[in-house]
Structure 1
């Protein structure tokens, strides 16, 4: 169904949510333009975990199968001590037709989305961001940094955790530093590592996450009080120091961490914008609205779900005000669940490293219960979603 109220949309940000939005809107006959601040595509990161709800959402734009084809699907995770003694194993909650987990490189995911965008009539302005936003009675007037300006029916702020759109519309929004950092490094995947593996040490958590037939990535979370700046030329040494307590397979792979330029380190922040995430015809989606620690592997999933839900609601041909109000009803509590539960997992890890973790805490059950909740439908009265 063609929406009578939204025919032209500006998407600020060409990451996962922005590209997904362009594809989903095009399928609705809505013309989109993307303003991407980088002058060329430079995908930051190593790999990404796609739980079943992310694949279900991607299936709405016909890309779930391609993600599974180019990634590596498996049923769940095994948990060990730092020296390799099994603590727990089991499969992740799933949705019929999808694996418990699909691992994929961020670059491959980006290329899958970008290829799909190129099959639409979406205009992409590289090296461009928004410089002025002016609300209008029936839309929003936008000036871009490349000199282009125009009126749009809707503006999507899909420009990440440090969103320029958010700052222009809502002012400065604090992000909470969680006291941890996350490290990633790409490694060759031997055939016998066909599930995700996590190892809990006294000072760190280390994991091996498959993301293709021949690649996996090392994922490490560590306490980093005060959010220290990590010198780029020392990242490989610093990472190896932080996993020096681990034996077994983690120790074996530590010797392969040799290139500081291939270490991706990020301090962990989280934030959740209070309701609503919109003012007038400007809506925040993805990390611009909700940033989460990576402990549940749901950050990108939420971003994808946001724009799939928005596109689905636009099919109902409600007024823009009613569409955005319904969007918030569908998205806020679901996003809050992930942000708060991820923060809780961070707190428990920090407590464990301090020797203060309560004995009745069962992290595996907590994770699986949260993931099962995310497998529920993401939009009311539409069981397929």
Structure 2
């Protein structure tokens, strides 16, 4: 007799962890989230929600709220340093969804947290996994507070620095790609109707509307050897890297005055070989695959992971059959996104080194990848 999964421990309370808990509770599987942080300190600025992300979020009933509380528009345009367009904002669509929705990371987290709590998800803060002891027909998990829980399945949704991944597979190598991403929130000029990426000879800038009043500026810059940046000079360093840009980017540059408001992240790329599970423990999201932000799909595929996992678990099959099917559904799709994002990194680095490739066409290439991401999951 096949015993279906009835209770699950989710390690990590970020986007994928909360989404997983909601999706599982909706199909009658009891869930508990353990989150290492003592409180919900959500960093960052805005997050991209392309149509495939909204389609996945619709499965747990929050897509409409994301659109209501976010800011929707046609898509992303491509331009030179002075704003001359070479690619129109015309991404492939999924019927019923906007070309692109941008939402504050904090707002998205609040939407998911509210839905999780109303669904009956148990959430324990300041605690994470210490040991995982797979007994074949269940898993005994020792937590850092000394307690032990026994569950049918463990989901590692604890991100880039995953403790669950370390326990399953040991330390893995994350590749620093030679770039960093800078972000800064600013008032939105009324003429900024879509997000725009500006390609320069030394860096790539972007302006992304978040609401009628707000936008954020982003910058991708080459940062060899992953240097440590001085906290008190972050605004100056960002302005320096924006010097080649004119137009709206130049106007935005002069408004960058607060070093503490600069969000800076070195960029890594990582793809765990298949399978992403061992016994009754499975990894999802950034713990299994971490793409660069160049296609704005990292959160999307993390959400897709857990929606697919919940769909498979709902069928009540043996957990090992479920996890095999999960890998068949997810691995190649996630690899496409990780590899495609890294391709854009390579083209940009060559451009900034003065050796651009004639075949490099980021607008056309991005459109092709988005078409693939809009296919059924």
* TM-score, normalised by the number of residues in structure 1: 0.96
Deviations 1:341-373 (A, max 9, x none): 000000000011112121122211110000000
SS at match of 2:375: coil
SS at match of 1:377: coil
For residues 115 and 199 of structure 1, the distance between their equivalents in structure 2, rounded to whole angstroms, comes to 37
1:4, distance to aligned residue in structure 2 (A): 4.3
The alignment status of 1:368 with 2:367, answered yes or no, reads yes
1:321, distance to aligned residue in structure 2 (A): 0.5
1:84 aligns to what?
A: 83
2:301 aligns to what?
A: 302
2:204 aligns to what?
A: 205
1:66, distance to aligned residue in structure 2 (A): 0.5
For residues 256 and 22 of structure 2, the distance between their equivalents in structure 1, rounded to whole angstroms, comes to 37
1:260 aligns to what?
A: 259
For residues 82 and 210 of structure 1, the distance between their equivalents in structure 2, rounded to whole angstroms, comes to 18
1:191, distance to aligned residue in structure 2 (A): 2.6
Instruction: Mark the runs of 5 or more structure 1 residues left unpaired by the alignment.
Output: 379-385
1:129, distance to aligned residue in structure 2 (A): 0.8
1:159 aligns to what?
A: 158
SS at match of 1:96: coil
For residues 107 and 272 of structure 2, the distance between their equivalents in structure 1, rounded to whole angstroms, comes to 30
Deviations 1:253-278 (A, max 9, x none): 11111111111100000110000000
For residues 3 and 184 of structure 2, the distance between their equivalents in structure 1, rounded to whole angstroms, comes to 47
Deviations 1:41-83 (A, max 9, x none): 0001111111100000000000101001111111112221112
For residues 96 and 338 of structure 1, the distance between their equivalents in structure 2, rounded to whole angstroms, comes to 22
1:241, distance to aligned residue in structure 2 (A): 0.7
1:20, distance to aligned residue in structure 2 (A): 0.3
SS at match of 1:90: coil
1:87, distance to aligned residue in structure 2 (A): 2.0
Contact in 1 for aligned 2:89/2:194 (Cα 8 Å): no
For residues 223 and 31 of structure 1, the distance between their equivalents in structure 2, rounded to whole angstroms, comes to 45
For residues 4 and 216 of structure 1, the distance between their equivalents in structure 2, rounded to whole angstroms, comes to 50
Deviations 1:177-217 (A, max 9, x none): 10000001111123321201111111110001112222111
For residues 325 and 274 of structure 1, the distance between their equivalents in structure 2, rounded to whole angstroms, comes to 14
For residues 300 and 137 of structure 1, the distance between their equivalents in structure 2, rounded to whole angstroms, comes to 32
2:344 aligns to what?
A: 345
SS at match of 2:123: strand
For residues 124 and 78 of structure 1, the distance between their equivalents in structure 2, rounded to whole angstroms, comes to 40
1:316, distance to aligned residue in structure 2 (A): 1.2
2:17 aligns to what?
A: 18
CA RMSD in angstroms, aligned pairs only: 1.0
* TM-score, normalised by the number of residues in structure 2: 0.98
1:183 aligns to what?
A: 182
Deviations 1:57-112 (A, max 9, x none): 00000010100111111111222111222222131111000111101110000001
For residues 311 and 14 of structure 2, the distance between their equivalents in structure 1, rounded to whole angstroms, comes to 20
2:226 aligns to what?
A: 227
1:123 aligns to what?
A: 122
1:194 aligns to what?
A: 193
The alignment status of 1:334 with 2:333, answered yes or no, reads yes
Instruction: Mark the runs of 5 or more structure 2 residues left unpaired by the alignment.
Output: none
Contact in 1 for aligned 2:267/2:292 (Cα 8 Å): yes
1:34 aligns to what?
A: 33
2:56 aligns to what?
A: 57
Aligned length: 376
For residues 33 and 137 of structure 1, the distance between their equivalents in structure 2, rounded to whole angstroms, comes to 20
SS at match of 1:213: coil
State how 1:110-149 maps to structure 2 within 5 Å: 110-149=109-148
SS at match of 1:267: strand
SS at match of 1:91: coil
1:233, distance to aligned residue in structure 2 (A): 1.7
For residues 135 and 221 of structure 2, the distance between their equivalents in structure 1, rounded to whole angstroms, comes to 47
For residues 172 and 14 of structure 1, the distance between their equivalents in structure 2, rounded to whole angstroms, comes to 22
